[in-house]
Structure formats: structure tokens, C-alpha cells
Amino acid sequence: MKTIEDAAALIARANQDATQYVGYCGTDQDEIANTIREESMDDHMYWIGDDLLMLDYEEGSAEMWGPFIQSDTDWSERANELLKMAPENTDLYGFYGSKNRRAIEWMKSIGADKKGEETILKADRFFDEESALHINIQPFETQQFGAFKKLHNDTFPDTYYNAETVIERSNKDRPLLVASTDENLIGYIYAESDPAFKEASVEYLAVTEQARGKGTGYALLREVMKKLFTDEQTRTVTLCVSKSNQTAIRLYQRAGFKIDKELVYFKKHI
């Protein structure tokens, strides 16, 4: 009987190949196994011989992990089988490396909507810059919920975590920081860290239209990076941003991030 460790080993090995890369998974075998356990993904882990078909399913939403093929079976055939295994009335998501042409073409063939092209950036240090601008940055407080929810919904109208979920998930290892002037919320940043693997990701960074171009985004990034690298002893921080948002990409590069991968994001309601 195949185990979670078998699945993690296969995924880690396959994801080393840019033509098979799945953006949800990463390449560290132990970290992949840990994610499968924490998210109870083995409930939707299917083996057909040595081929792995897998979904990260939660409340009507499913992310496609793979399929990861070791046999001579056609990839799209296994993908079609995985599609049939998804529960009815599900939003199916695919997040594939730009060189994973078979997955991208398959997503197009089933009528999935291309939601965007994303750039993944990574940093193992932060290049701080002095600024004369004073922006108050503090952990999120419940009385800021209304302004936070509006900014989150306006900036990320079709995203994986709604405003309530972000707040529910936030804790010491998942900091949610807000920027304000004159007690008005003008931006926020939300990150998630994994102390066991010394890794973290910036999930959301948003600034109100009136506050853009004034250093607010950089100030938020500085505070969360300081917390991650100092308090959480993080070694690597990853973030994902729309490929078309070159202003944000330049901001991140200025702060020490480097482009790691480019991916394509799809959605299909089934």
C-alpha cells in the first residue's frame, strides 16, 4: 500500500523538472509530506498503479496536485480521471509552471479560465532602506475589520482566503500587520511561516489607492520581513505576484527578492 511518504517522494522528484512543475507543491520531500498530513490531503489522494492523482480539497474548492505520472499512460488521460474524482459543484484550480505545457494545454482543453500569469520571487535576506516617512504599523485589531475587509476584497476579489479566513488563520507564525495614518487603515500585509522548515511566504500585501507610491508597501514589507527573519528565524521568504504588476516586482527586487519561477493560474467550475 502506497504511503504519504511515497507520494511526497514522487512529487518532490517530479517538481524538480520545470516541464512538470506544479506551483502548489514545492520540492522538499519532508515539507510536502508535512503539508499532506496537516491538510488531510490523503482523503483525496488516489493511486493508479504508480501514478499519483491528488487534490487539495476544502469546502467546494480543489487544487490539482499533478497528476504525477510514472507509467507510460498519457498525462491528459490521468488528468481526466482526476477531474472525475473531484466532488460535484467544485471550483477546480490549476497552478502550473510556464514550461509545463501539457498541463496548460489540458486546462485550456477543458474550458478552464486563465486567471493570470504569476511570478514567484524568493529572498534569503532583506535590503532595508531608510525612509523619512512615518507610517504606523501594528498587528491587526478587531475594530479595523471593516476597513481591512474592504481593502482585501477590492484588491483580491477572487482569491483563496477571504477576509474572515485571513483573520482566523493569523497568529504568531502567521502575522497580519496593518498600516495606518490618523487612525485610518491604508494597507496590510499577511504572511505565513513554517518554523519547522525555516520558510515563509507573503500571502497578501495591499495598499489603498490614496496611499500608493508613498512607501507604504515597502514599510509593510520591511516590518514583516524583520519579524520573519528575526523572530521566526526564517531563512527563505517566498511571494507570488501577478506577472503584469511590474511596479510590485521592482519593489520586491529592491528589497532583495529574486525571480524564481513563472506560473499560470487556471480556474474551472465543475
> The dihedral of CA 134, 121, 240, 247: what is its sign?
positive
Report the share of the chain in percent with pLDDT over 90: 67
Distance CA 133, CA 222 (A): 13
Could you give the domains of the chain?
4-118 (3.40.630), 125-234 (3.40.630.30)
Q: What is the pLDDT of residues 115-165, one digit of tens each?
A: 999 999 999 887 766 654 678 899 999 999 999 999 999 999 888 899 999
pLDDT at 130: 61
Q: What is the pLDDT of residues 217-236, one digit of tens each?
A: 989 998 999 889 887 789 99
In this prediction, residues 183-201 reach a mean pLDDT of 92
Q: What is the pLDDT of residues 6-51, one digit of tens each?
A: 999 999 999 999 999 999 988 999 999 999 998 888 889 999 999 9
In this prediction, residues 64-80 reach a mean pLDDT of 92
* pLDDT of 268 above 60: yes
pLDDT at 11: 96
Q: How much is the pTM?
A: 0.78
pLDDT at 249: 93
Least confident of 96-100, 135-139, 261-265: 135-139
Report the share of the chain in percent with pLDDT over 70: 98
In single-letter form, the type of residue at position 149 comes to: K
pLDDT at 69: 92
pLDDT at 134: 73
pLDDT at 220: 93
- H/E/C letters for each residue in the chain? CCCHHHHHHHHHHHCCCCCCCECCCCCCHHHHHHHHHHCCHHHHEEEECCEEEEEEEECCEEEEEEEECCCCCCHHHHHHHHHHHCCCCCEEEEEEECCCHHHHHHHHHCCCEEEEEEEEEEECCCCCCCCCCCCEEEECCHHHHHHHHHHHHHHCCCCCCCHHHHHHHCECCECEEEEEECCEEEEEEEEEEECCCCEEEEEEEEECHHHCCCCHHHHHHHHHHHHHHHHCCCCEEEEEEECCCHHHHHHHHHCCCEEEEEEEEEEEEC
pLDDT at 132: 47
